Amino acid sequence: MAYETIIYSVSGPIAEIRFNRPHRLNAVVTEFYTEVIDALDRAEKDINVRVLVLTGEGRAFCVGADLKEHGAGTRTELEKLEYLILGNDVCERMIKHNKVIIAAVNGFALGAGAEMSCAADFILMKNTAQIGFPEVSIGTHLGGGVTEVLPRLVGLAKAKELIITGRRIDGVEAERIGLATSVFSDECFAVGVAEFAELIATKAPYSMRFAKELLNDMHQDFNARLTSELSALRTCMLTRDWKEGVAAFAEKRNPVFTGK
């Protein structure tokens, strides 16, 4: 599939979705969402991909909805609803994706851009990048499950502050409050993201998949979680990667996992 609003590429075990509307600071339109979902599906079906990186072309990650398109008033009420549902669908697909997803926030991540960042497993930011939730400040509301995910990342009080005030924070503060995993200077950002993605790509795919699934499952009680962990462990023990991990530990070497 040829994309108009994103660039999808694969290099070894790492796939990248690069938002490609730099003339609009990667603002979201309907086609953007449908293309991101298609690329997420491609990465999920590719057995060679272990890590997926989302980032933006130009000086923004994604500044949210394209208000110029919204303001044109040419969409029907049904089209507006479909657009909103697509925004939720993207975040849901990211959270439930069977690969680890990194949001490489290279610039402004606002509104939908911040929501997609929160749906990723890791947020890596430039120290000059800014992330924020402006929805309440402009009389609308945020989506993508942020009201559940953000408090888990930064705590309820800080989540309320960021959402209700709409205050933007830079990469340094995002790391300090636990929203960002790592922050890099502008000149070190690309290398830092690549090294982090490469590290994740060395881990056992089945083990990562189960860990992500259980960590993102916010609704199991403790007994159910113990049962789920046991099931994941038993499944991992049936794989070649489990045998490789045990052998590598005994031989004091780094394991080489194959996803089998």
Question: Token match 């994706």: residue?
Answer: 97
Closest alpha carbon to 61 in 154, 119, 131: 131
Number of domains in the chain: 2
- Measured CA to CA, the distance from residue 89 to residue 249 in angstroms comes to 40
Q: What is the mean pLDDT of residues 197-223?
A: 95
Residues 158 and 221 in one domain: no
192 φ, ψ to 5°? -60, -45
pLDDT of residue 21: 97
- Measured CA to CA, the distance from residue 78 to residue 93 in angstroms comes to 22
Question: Which alpha helices (DSSP H) does 97-239 contain, by range?
Answer: 112-119, 146-154, 156-165, 171-176, 189-201, 205-216, 222-236
- The rounded radius of gyration (Å) of the Cα atoms in the chain is 19
Q: What is the mean pLDDT of residues 140-153?
A: 96
Contact (CB, 8 A) for 26 and 20: yes
pLDDT of residue 77: 86
Residues 167 and 86 in one domain: yes
Establish whether 135 is a catalytic residue: yes
pLDDT of residue 70: 65
Residues 90 and 195 in one domain: yes
Sort 156 into a burial class: Cβ within 10 Å, 0-12 / 13-18 / 19+: exposed
Q: What is the mean pLDDT of residues 205-209?
A: 96
pLDDT of residue 72: 60
Residues 84 and 132 in one domain: yes
pLDDT of residue 66: 87
pLDDT of residue 246: 94
Q: Answer whether residue 1 is part of any domain.
A: no
Q: What is the mean pLDDT of residues 221-228?
A: 95
Residues 195 and 240 in one domain: no
Its domain, for residue 223, covers: 205-250
Annotated catalytic residue, options 16, 35, 135, 175? 135
Establish whether 77 is a catalytic residue: no
Q: What is the mean pLDDT of residues 165-188?
A: 98
Contact (CB, 8 A) for 144 and 91: yes
pLDDT of residue 71: 62
Q: Answer whether residue 255 is part of any domain.
A: no
Annotated catalytic residue, options 115, 161, 187, 195? 115
Residues 170 and 236 in one domain: no
**CATH code of the domain containing 195:** 3.90.226.10
pLDDT cut 70: percent of the chain above it: 98
Residues 131 and 229 in one domain: no
Q: pLDDT digit string (tens) for 7-61?
A: 999 999 999 999 999 999 999 999 999 999 999 999 999 999 999 999 999 999 9
Residues 69 and 26 in one domain: yes
Sort 152 into a burial class: Cβ within 10 Å, 0-12 / 13-18 / 19+: middle
Query: Quick one: pLDDT band at residue 218, thresholds 50, 70, 90?
Result: confident
pLDDT of residue 78: 87
Residues 231 and 144 in one domain: no
Residues in contact with 180: Cβ distance below 8 Å, sequence separation at least 6, in sequence order: 105, 123, 124, 125, 131, 171, 174
- Say if residue 245's pLDDT is above 90: yes
